[in-house]
Amino acid sequence: MISQLTRSERLGSLAVLLLLAVIGLAFAGAGNGAPLGVHGLIILLYAIGLAFVVMHGYFEAEPDPERLSSYYDDPIKVGVVLTMLWAVFGMFFGLWVSALLAWPDLTFDAGWASFGRMRPVHTSGVIFGFGGNALIATSFHVMQRTSRARLPDQFSPWFVLLGYNLFCILAISGYFMGLTQSKEYAEAEWYADIWLVIVWVVYFLLYIRTLARRKEPHIYVANWYYLAFILVVAMLHIVNNLAIPVSLGTAKSYSLFSGVQDAMTQWWYGHNAVAFFLTAGFLGMMYYYLPKRAERPIFSYRLSIISFWGITFLYMWAGSHHLHYTALPQWVQTLGMTFSVVLLVPSWASAGNALATLNGAWHRVRDDATLRFMMVAAVFYGLSTFEGSFMAIRPVNSLSHYTDWTVGHVHAGALGWVAMITFGSIYALVPWIWKRERMYSARLVEVHFWLALSGTIVYVFAMWNSGIIQGLMWRTYNDSGTLAYSFIDSLVAMHPYYIARTFGGLLFLLGAMVGTYNVLKTIRAAAPGTVQTADDKDIPADAAKPLLQPGE
């Protein structure tokens, strides 16, 4: 991989890594044994490790200029492997956290294993580690193919991918040490947040530069969704994480906002993180890989664009439905509820568009587990967006909020939509970029699909039942006007559902492990000289011909 970098890019990489190492050294010194110091040491070791990799290939010959006539896929390959490894890591801790609710002694008296620390490890590992790496890797692939242009340089993609993973490592290792700014899905402290801003700006510029080099006259719809994901996530992240550190020598910081303004900013961020991190980017994934795999054009290109603008406009105002029955002004709650209900229209437009695209290819869905992953993802996307709009209605929310119903809703989206479309896209992508005719084992893809689907169904149904029973128990009064059930009563009633949830999570984790094994075996089998496939269209210059492909 280093041989693909020019001499000036290798030198630039070493300069950036040297600067990073100096920052890590400064943190390690300022931290003086505190968590900031541990993070300084991690940064230092990360920079030194990568510097050794660059130095190892530094004196290799300059790359062949011919490489500029083909796509640059090395960062995509590493991104795919990181995606699968983060999936296993994040889901393993999700399983552990789930088991903790059924068997609380599983902390083994260790502070780092407490629920409060491991829960953000699970959420960040899955959302940012698994989901983020999948989005970065597939966006590099999709924007090159749909623009028919190579990435503008070799350094920026590596900076984005490896810099982003450094952020994930800092965030998750911080949770184990008790570092958090106590904002859901935004728990990382100030220095990790600043680093992510730098990485994200480079990501945005890289995307824009690639699109500016495109050989296609129009920008394919998947790129619209990816761009919305990159741009809006930057905006959300910066505003929600505005904070003042206690000092440059400590990890702790305090938010610029206070009271209900802080809550409103957090849920403006939180719900739009769902919209633009967990929806828009993955819709971009769906709009490319589903029609490509089905070998069918999108049912309606116009509908996909209308859905894009509907989602982009409406999602922005829906976050306040998370704060029903709080100190937030009533009109703001009502505004959030109204936009959440209307949001169902563009959301179902995309789900319906995906399913309609499969018309004429249902025989392929029956026989191809990869395509079935994508089909099921579209179904769960439609179901979870309907459920989300329904739960945003104030009277419904009074029953569902703070119960396991919300957990079931979130995981219907996370497992059924985000993970399914990701696994389907990776199974489509891996043979293409590693130049294999197919995955190592089609049977293992089938096994993974049924483990993932059954795990999702068990999990979601357990949480739906648990949440509704919880909500009803909490609002049941006896004849004297006092609560009929104590909180402990509701916990006892939930115990069987928590065991069922753990079993569902175990099935899903086993599926992810099977998928990781299959991907790694496919990669290992992809030695030079293996079969070249019909999808080896890796030469952007050829794309000057007006050759329309499904999904392009």
Report if residue 452 sits inside a domain: yes
In whole angstroms, what separates CA 280 from the centre of its chain?
A: 11
* Residue 107 shares a structural domain with residue 92: yes
* Residue 335 shares a structural domain with residue 443: yes
CB 432 within 8 A of CB 140: no
Strands 243-245 and 253-255: antiparallel
User: pLDDT per residue over 342-352, tens digit each?
Assistant: 999 999 999 99
Distance CA 385, CA 351 (A): 9
Q: What pLDDT, on the 0 to 100 scale, is given for residue 534?
A: 45
Distance CA 124, CA 173 (A): 11
* Residue 42 shares a structural domain with residue 82: no
* Residue 53 shares a structural domain with residue 85: no
3-class secondary-structure state, position 468: helix
User: Per-residue b/e over 152-170, b at no fewer than 16 CB within 10 Å?
Assistant: bbbbbbbbbbbbbbbbbbb
Average pLDDT rounded to a whole number, residues 445-451: 97
Range of the domain at 160: 71-524
Q: What's the pLDDT band for 526 if we cut at 50, 70, 90?
A: low
Q: What pLDDT, on the 0 to 100 scale, is given for residue 539?
A: 56
Q: What pLDDT, on the 0 to 100 scale, is given for residue 528?
A: 56
* Residue 334 shares a structural domain with residue 445: yes
Scanning 59-147, the segments in alpha helix (DSSP H) are 74-102, 115-124, 133-147
Average pLDDT rounded to a whole number, residues 215-238: 93
Q: What's the pLDDT band for 544 if we cut at 50, 70, 90?
A: very low
Quick check: 552 pLDDT over 70? no
Distance CA 427, CA 431 (A): 7
* Residue 133 shares a structural domain with residue 182: yes
Report if residue 549 sits inside a domain: no
Q: Which of 16, 49, 70 is the last residue of a domain?
A: 70
Average pLDDT rounded to a whole number, residues 312-338: 92
Q: What pLDDT, on the 0 to 100 scale, is given for residue 34?
A: 87
Report if residue 546 sits inside a domain: no
User: pLDDT per residue over 253-305, tens digit each?
Assistant: 999 999 999 999 999 999 999 889 999 999 999 999 999 999 999 999 999 99
* Residue 153 shares a structural domain with residue 53: no
In terms of Cα–Cα distance, which of 88, 196, 77 is closest to 138? Answer: 77
* 495 is known to lie in a ligand binding site: no
Quick check: 27 pLDDT over 60? yes
* Residue 12 shares a structural domain with residue 112: no
Q: How confident is the prediction for the chain on average, in pLDDT?
A: 92
* Residue 88 shares a structural domain with residue 146: yes
Q: Which of 39, 70, 101 is the last residue of a domain?
A: 70
User: pLDDT per residue over 84-118, tens digit each?
Assistant: 999 999 999 999 999 999 999 999 889 999 999 99
Report if residue 538 sits inside a domain: no
CB 199 within 8 A of CB 217: no
CB 135 within 8 A of CB 538: no
* Residue 343 shares a structural domain with residue 384: yes
CATH at 421: 1.20.210.10
Domain count, the chain: 2
In terms of Cα–Cα distance, which of 390, 445, 446, 379 is closest to 413? Answer: 379
Quick check: 21 pLDDT over 80? yes
* Residue 456 shares a structural domain with residue 486: yes
Quick check: 530 pLDDT over 60? no
Distance CA 345, CA 342 (A): 6
Quick check: 447 pLDDT over 90? yes
DSSP state, 5?
Answer: S
- Of 551 and 362, which is predicted with more confidence? 362
User: pLDDT per residue over 356-393, tens digit each?
Assistant: 999 988 999 999 999 999 999 999 999 999 999 999 99
Report if residue 235 sits inside a domain: yes
Quick check: 398 pLDDT over 50? yes
Q: What's the pLDDT band for 400 if we cut at 50, 70, 90?
A: very high
Report if residue 545 sits inside a domain: no
Quick check: 146 pLDDT over 90? yes
* Residue 517 shares a structural domain with residue 410: yes
User: pLDDT per residue over 40-82, tens digit each?
Assistant: 999 999 999 999 999 998 888 888 887 788 899 999 999 999 9
Quick check: 179 pLDDT over 70? yes
Q: What's the pLDDT band for 543 if we cut at 50, 70, 90?
A: very low
Report if residue 532 sits inside a domain: no
Q: What pLDDT, on the 0 to 100 scale, is given for residue 370?
A: 95
Q: pTM here?
A: 0.93
Q: What pLDDT, on the 0 to 100 scale, is given for residue 2?
A: 79
Quick check: 532 pLDDT over 70? no
User: pLDDT per residue over 205-220, tens digit each?
Assistant: 999 999 999 998 889 9
DSSP code string of 206-246: HHHHHHHT-SSSS--HHHHHHHHHHHHHHHHHHHHT-EEES
Report if residue 542 sits inside a domain: no
3-state secondary structure 302-327: HHHHHHHHHHHHHHCCCHHHHHCCCC
* 122 is known to lie in a ligand binding site: yes
